[in-house]
Amino acid sequence: MTRIEMVISDFGGVLTTPLAESFIAMQEKVGIPPRAFGLAMQDAHAETGVHPLHELECGRITEREFSDQLSRALEPHVGHRPVIEEFGPTFFQALNPNPGMLDLIREVRRDGYRTALLTNNVREWEPQWRSMIPVDELFEEVVDSAFVGCRKPDPRIYEITLERVGLAPEACLFIDDVEINCEGASALGIRTVHFRETAQARADVRALLNP
C-alpha cells in the first residue's frame, strides 16, 4: 500500500466547532424558525435549478446576492422578506477553533507529513476564517472552493488539490465532517476519515498513519 505523505483537512466543522451552531445563530439574529432556512434553500433550488449556497461557495454569486435570494425564498415561510445583514460576521461569531484537531495538524507536521486545507467557503469570508487559525503555519497549500469555481464533492476540486500538491490520490489522507465529501474523495482513491467528533477523528487518523 502506498505510504501516506499528506494530510488534507476540511475547515468548518473539523478545525472549528460544528457549523450547525453558526446557522442557528444566523436564524436567531434574523428571527426565523429553525427549519425555515433549509426549506427556503430547497425552494430556491427547485425554482432556479441551482442551490444558492452552492453557487455562493463556488464564487458564482456574491454574499449580497445570496442574502437577497435567501430573503425572497424565506417570504412564504415567515410571511415577510427578512432583512439579512452581516451574514458572515454573525456566522463567525458563533464559530470557534477546535484545539484538538489543530493540535493534530501540528503533530502530523512534526512527524514529517505534509498538510493542506480543502474548504468549501465564501470569497467574502476569507479574512474572517483565516483570522481564526494560523493558516500559513499549519498548511502548505489552501484550496478554497470560492476561488477555484467548484466545491466538494465535485471530483474537480479534489483533482485541483492533487495537482497543486503533486501527489497521487493514494498518498493523501482527507478529513471531512460531511460524509458525501469523504465519498467524493474516496472515489478518486484518496483515503478518508469521516470526522464525527475529535477523539474519534484523531484516533482514525493515527490508525491510518501508523498501521
Residue 1 lies in a domain: no
Number of domains the chain is built from:
2
The band of 81, judged by pLDDT with boundaries at 50, 70 and 90, is: confident
Same domain? 11 vs 35: no
- pLDDT attached to residue 207: 97
Q: What is the pLDDT of residues 140-194, one digit of tens each?
A: 999 999 999 999 999 999 999 999 999 999 999 999 999 999 999 999 999 999 9
Does 199 lie in the same domain as 153?
Answer: yes
Given 92, 116, 146, which residue is the final one in a domain?
92
Is it the case that residue 34 has pLDDT exceeding 80?
A: no
Of 92, 108, 126, the residue that ends a domain is 92
What distances in angstroms separate CA 29 from CA 21, 33, 35, 87, one per listed residue? 12, 11, 14, 9
Domain that holds residue 131: 6-17+96-209
> Could you tell me if 138 and 38 lie in one domain?
no
Domain ends where: 63, 92, 121?
A: 92
Axis crossing angle, helix 198-209 with helix 99-110, rounded to the nearest 10:
10
Domain shared by 146 and 83, yes or no: no
Mean pLDDT of 185-205: 99
Same domain? 102 vs 200: yes
The answer to whether residues 111 and 195 belong to one domain is yes
User: What pLDDT shows up at residue 76?
Assistant: 87
38-58 burial by CB neighbour count: b if 16+ within 10 A, else e?
Answer: eebbebbbeeeeebbbbbbbb
Same domain membership, residue 130 and residue 38: no
pLDDT score of 46 more than 80? yes
Q: Are residues 102 and 185 in the same domain?
A: yes
pLDDT digits (tens, 9 = 90+) for 115-128: 999 999 999 999 99
Is the domain of 134 the same as that of 81? no
DSSP codes of every residue in 36-55: HHHHHHHHHHHHHSS-HHHH
- Contact predicate 67/61, CB 8 Å: no
Is the confidence at residue 111, as pLDDT, over 90? yes
189 with 107, same domain? yes
Residue 174 and residue 87 share a domain:
no
